[in-house]
Amino acid sequence: MGEKGFFQNDYGEGAHPLVMRRLMETNMEHTCGYGLDEYSLRAQALIREKCACPRAQVHFLTGGTSANLIALSAFMRPYEAAIAAEGGHINVHETGAVEGSGHKVLVAASREGKVTAEGVYAVCALHTDEHMVRPRALYISQPTEIGTVYSLGELRALRVACDDCGLVLYADGARLGSALTSAGCDVTLPDMAALCDAFTIGGTKNGLLFGEAMVIANPALQADFRYMVKNRGGMLAKGRLCGVMFLAALEEDAYLDWARHANAMADVIRDGMARAGVEAYQTTKTNQVFAVLTRAQEERLARDFAFERWADLGDGRVAVRFVTSWATEPEDARRLAGALGAL
């Protein structure tokens, strides 16, 4: 009866209707290209304002891997390396894009997917001379690959570690909205801008057709960034599209509302799991929910719902991932919660 409830990822639809409306309204206007148009400029100004960071530079990029490789290769010299968690997106899921731009990714110890300050110090202590790469950037994602969120205290500790070790702190915010609006999160956009040298505000996974806003808060890293973007193939001719879309998302804080919706839908699933006694593979408060199921349960659930197997636990059980988004229907979330209870 109808389509399966969709919990496979948060980029399975087009854009939020508000975003599409703005694209339609502005469609036949003429503007100059490459992101130098009025919409882009206004969106950049708005982001600076929301970040309470007037000195920040803002650039719109097409996707996460592109954004990460452009930023990290802009911030580092050829022999410098980025530190990341073992499961960090740049370390596993970007087909070696950072290495492809010439830089090693070093792995630091992490807890619940979050790099620890101690882990950063330990990596830096090991890299002492010119026979080894020099650690130069700390890559984190907020939230992490497994949906956990750095607290303000944790971010501050990383900031201190970065200052101590001479590192740039760069945060991949592909799902930043979900982190900022998650239950108990004490981090705000201005905190991100104050503590990170640069970070992204992800549009692709929160209501836009595509687009990541790169916020470079540290003026020392801003020079010539547009050259890097073009050199790496990341500059869109119709750059205004990102301007229009980010304006739509940010003007009335719709961006945060959409993320809140996604988190609320995830809460429905989390509550269902709790009631049903389904074990969480990883505890989260963001829009990714991880459950431990038997293979039989997984198979049963897969008849009515689209989701991903995250890991084979090797004992007949599997970890699965349910992802919600601005587009998740409450009815679908309730159905899934119910189905989890009926396994």
Q: Give the footprint of a copy of itself on residues 133-172 (CB under 8 A).
A: 133-134
Q: Which stretch binds a copy of itself (CB under 8 A): 47-55, 59-67, 149-157, 281-289?
A: 59-67
Residue 48 or 240 with smaller CB distance to a copy of itself? 240
**Nearest distance, CB of residue 74 and a copy of itself, angstroms:** 8
Which amino acid is residue 336, in one-letter code? L
Separation of first and last alpha carbons in the chain: 20
Residue 309 found at the interface with a copy of itself (CB under 8 A): no
Residue 331 found at the interface with a copy of itself (CB under 8 A): no
Q: How many residues bind a copy of itself (CB under 8 A)?
A: 76
| Selected binder of a copy of itself within 1, 2, 30, 316 (CB under 8 A) | 30
Q: Which stretch binds a copy of itself (CB under 8 A): 126-134, 156-164, 182-190, 191-199?
A: 126-134
- Are the beta carbons of 87 and 111 closer than 8 angstroms? no
Residue 252 found at the interface with a copy of itself (CB under 8 A): no
> Cα(140)–Cα(156) distance, rounded to whole angstroms?
13
Structure tokens at 288: 């990714």
Which amino acid is residue 343, in one-letter code? L
Q: Which stretch binds a copy of itself (CB under 8 A): 99-107, 147-155, 281-289, 295-303?
A: 99-107
- Contacts with a copy of itself in 231-250 (CB under 8 A)? 231-238, 241
- Contacts with a copy of itself in 273-302 (CB under 8 A)? none
| Selected binder of a copy of itself within 55, 96, 190, 338 (CB under 8 A) | 96
Q: Which stretch binds a copy of itself (CB under 8 A): 46-54, 95-103, 186-194, 213-221?
A: 95-103
| Selected binder of a copy of itself within 18, 63, 156, 157 (CB under 8 A) | 63
Residue 219 found at the interface with a copy of itself (CB under 8 A): no
**Nearest distance, CB of residue 27 and a copy of itself, angstroms:** 4
The site string for a copy of itself over 171-210 (x = CB under 8 A, - otherwise) reads ---------------------------------xx---xx
Q: Which stretch binds a copy of itself (CB under 8 A): 87-95, 150-158, 283-291, 293-301?
A: 87-95
